Amino acid sequence: MTPASEEEMVASLTPGIPVCVVVHGSFVPPDEVPQDSRNTVEWLRTAAPHLPVQLIFVTWSSEGIFTLDPAVATTSAVPGLDVAILGRRAEMNGVRLARLVRMLPQESPVCLIGHSHGARMVSSALNLLGGGHLDGHRIPAGPLQRVRAILVAAAIDHDWIVPGQRYERALCATESLLSLKSEEDWALWFYPLRRPFSRQSLGRVGFSRDDLRRMGRLAFKVSEVDVTPIVGIGHIWPRFYERPVIAQTLVPWVYFTE
């Protein structure tokens, strides 16, 4: 793996082979990203060693602002505010992610994987790619390759991709969306503290029956897997990529086998 500009990265891709773009969550120090990326590559490739895929890792400034250790959420003097600020930062980086997807070869199907606030970035990008907007930002209309998405321990409200909500156009940009939830996720227990009257997170409670009803005909695109028995109270990304059984679950979305 090597660092690269967006232009260099796109030039290195082979059209026709699936591309998987992975986005980390909040409180991830820059010096941890390379090792997490290597471990993720091994995790995904071991699940389907004979299938080709091209992997891209998108990093962003995800350290806490009000923390004694900017990489550790539990040391924050104002954890709710830190989470709110980083969530908004991830959302705005969705513009960058959507533009990146537009740059990828049209012949290559694309899978977007977002963990925690990375799932918010992915949702924001899908919303833009589906014709939505964000603070005046729009993505020019154009041909879009096949796109699938995986939201892991998603730090977004459980109904934000429902029509009429924050990312209402997200499902219009993807042919399939998978959400992995854990009802015991310790970090997402605190998710509602980021603002008054907040809803529970998608990564902890999943889609409600009302959410699916309001999605209407788009609900067939949505799948959900409860990984509570596998990751328990875990939230950090290693708790997922250390479990081969989870990678096996992701194969159809990452490698476009179905």
User: Taking 70 as the threshold, does the pLDDT of residue 71 lie above it?
Assistant: no
Q: What residues have CB less than 8 Å from 180, skipping those under 6 apart?
A: 150, 151, 152, 153, 203, 224, 225, 227, 240, 246, 249
* Mean pLDDT of all residues belonging to the chain: 92
Distance CA 42, CA 59 (A): 18
Record the tokens describing residue 157, joined without a space. 């409200």
Closest of 146, 100, 145, 155 to residue 123, by C-alpha: 155
Q: Residue 112: beta bridge partners?
A: 21, 149
Q: Which pLDDT does position 142 carry in this prediction?
A: 73
Name the pairing type of β-strands 176-181 and 222-226: parallel
What tens digit of pLDDT does each residue of 240-249 get?
Answer: 999 999 999 9
Q: Which pLDDT does position 199 carry in this prediction?
A: 86
Q: Which pLDDT does position 10 carry in this prediction?
A: 87
pTM of the model: 0.94
Distance CA 18, CA 84 (A): 33
List of domains in the chain:
17-255 (3.40.50.1820)
Q: Which pLDDT does position 258 carry in this prediction?
A: 84
